[in-house]
Chain A
């Protein structure tokens, strides 16, 4: 109950943010986005036809009116039909699950492996395992996502490489084919996250290691490994949670966009990208509002988790 009340309060506090996100995205993508008029018309349209199409697309209305109409669509969650004629909700229902099962494994693995490497580096701080892991992390940070994708594809999927997985495409009809299609994107997502995440996790852990309470734990003879895995780690959870939470929207949209475009996977990222390119307003509007809502959910969940892991935090 308390949490529900809190979430509601937080949602209200998040309204300016939702307002800002929708306003900026709406202005950029929809209002200043590509003009679709001429693509919908045949050759040599009459001025009446032009006016007619522009009216249908809402181009003849003032900005404010169109934006308010957009807000109404968000609240009712009714975005109409995409320019291909498919209802937007159906499109979302079809593409979002694909993106979820595509991105989730790499996302989780990236954070888990990054954390494990960071723990190892922190445990052997200043010695060779630490230096090795950190050197690899800098290398990981220096490779572009796209290069990683192509590299993994060459090594794992091409006939010049190991030829283990399909080169591109998507088929999740069975577990076997799902695994064969998801492996290369997962490895790429994980690898790219690893460099930054390992460094981040290590720096938080090492900072926490200098705290007085760690010295106290040592002074009472608790073993170093236990201090690291229990006393220190629990104190690091707040920055960790923030990191994981706020990377969700980025990965869910950004990561999906790139991977799906590259491998030709029919997820929400590819749909978004195509909508941007073709100026498919209803889809863009839906994605923008979903993003804003996702962000606010992340903020709320983030605070609720704070409260769970840190007794000093109250939901005020």
Chain B
């Protein structure tokens, strides 16, 4: 079977090379998108440094006294027990990428696989079952679900991520299902069928690669959702267990802002806002660049 070589590419899409080239060219011309991408990369470097221990290693140390103001020693001041807020905010950037990337990759992968199966076997019991799963997950309000998962997996450090992945794949799954239903009717897929390529190979080698443009955009949207959800879950006590995150900082700050101390709150929210905003802008620019219908 592997000996069969046919031009099994999608006609205009996977002359795909050119779609991606074209998209890259278009993205390159999108000044706002490029700027946003630059910002995201800068954040990523900050995170990388934190992972490698170049900086922010002392985020948990008591290096000052309670609520010190901004100074050259503590760029963002110190928190209620005297920890350096700058270090904590920088370290949290790394956490944000950990959460965002793990959730985005896993949820997009699951969404792609389940969506592709549902779409390829549209109308069959596989499709019915997957649709039912998606419907059920949609019907349970997100925070209720996350809370439930978090408590069911009380001692598991990944409880929050598991809960997010379990819900966030649904959106991608639906989109991919729709796209695959379109693709499976195309000639190159039927050609592959007719020469006996196995269904799994068709799905994974010939169909899924042609949904790459959707997956890329969905992954960046999921990344943003994950970072935003982390903040709320940390406040509800369902978030990051050990380590530091913007959500934990903001949770910490809820007690401080009422006492008139805003550094913790501002540091975490502004840093988070910058990353989420930049990522949203990148997602928009990607969508524009990859949308074959969009003109100009």
Contact = CB atoms under 8 A, between A and B. Distances in A.
Partners in one complex: yes
Interface of A: 16-17, 20-21, 24-25, 27-29, 32-34, 138-139, 141-147, 150-151, 153-154, 158-160, 167, 246, 249-250, 252-254, 257-258, 261-262, 272-273, 276-277, 279, 287-288, 291-292, 295
B4 interface: no
A144 B148 contact: no
Contacts of A258: 143, 232, 235-236
A17 to B, nearest CB: 5
A261 B174 CA distance: 32
B215 interface: no
Contact of B140 (A21, A138, A160, A272): A21
A55 B79 CA distance: 47
Nearest to B149: A28
A54 B149 CA distance: 22
A258 B143 CA distance: 9
B258 A167 contact: yes
Nearest to A275: B147
Nearest to A19: B136
Interface string B139-173: 11111110111011010000000000000000000
12 contacts: A20-B139, A25-B140, A28-B149, A28-B152, A33-B148, A34-B154, A138-B280, A144-B276, A146-B247, A150-B254, A262-B254, A291-B139
A250 B142 contact: yes
Contacts of B228: 144-145
Q: Is the interface of B mostly helix, strand, loop or mixed?
A: helix
Given A276-B148, A276-B151, A254 B143 contact: yes
A150 B250 contact: yes
B103 to A, nearest CB: 15
B213 to A, nearest CB: 18
Contacts of A254: 141-144
B148 A29 contact: yes
Nearest to B228: A144
Contact of A32 (B139, B152, B254, B260): B152
Given A150-B257, A261-B236, A138 B273 contact: no
A25 B269 contact: no
Contact of B132 (A20, A273, A279): A20
Given A33-B148, A144-B228, A150-B254, A249 B141 contact: yes
B284 interface: yes
B272 interface: yes
A180 B139 CA distance: 33
Nearest to A21: B139
A113 B211 CA distance: 35
A22 B232 CA distance: 25
B125 to A, nearest CB: 13
B152 to A, nearest CB: 4
A16 B132 contact: yes
B277 A292 contact: no
A141 B235 CA distance: 19
Contacts of A273: 147, 236
Interface string B260-275: 1010010001001100
Contacts of B269: 143-144, 147, 150-151
Contact of A144 (B141, B253, B272): B272
Contact of A153 (B257, B276, B281): B257
Contacts of B250: 144, 146-147, 150
B276 A25 contact: no
Contacts of A272: 144
B135 interface: yes
A33 B277 contact: no
B40 interface: no
A17 B132 contact: yes
B273 A142 contact: yes
A249 B149 contact: no
Contacts of B149: 28
Which 3 residue pairs across A and B have the least CB separation, nearest first? A20-B136, A253-B141, A32-B152
B260 A160 contact: yes
B260 A159 contact: yes
Contacts of B237: 277
Interface in B10-58: none
B231 interface: yes
Contacts of A34: 151, 154
Which of B136, B151, B236 has the most chain A CB within a 10 Å cutoff? B136
Contacts of B281: 138
Contacts of A20: 132-133, 135-136, 139
A292 to B, nearest CB: 7
A289 to B, nearest CB: 12
Contacts of B254: 150, 262
Contacts of A246: 138
A144 B224 CA distance: 10
Given A150-B257, A261-B236, 9 more contacts: A17-B136, A34-B151, A138-B280, A144-B250, A147-B272, A158-B257, A252-B141, A253-B144, A291-B144
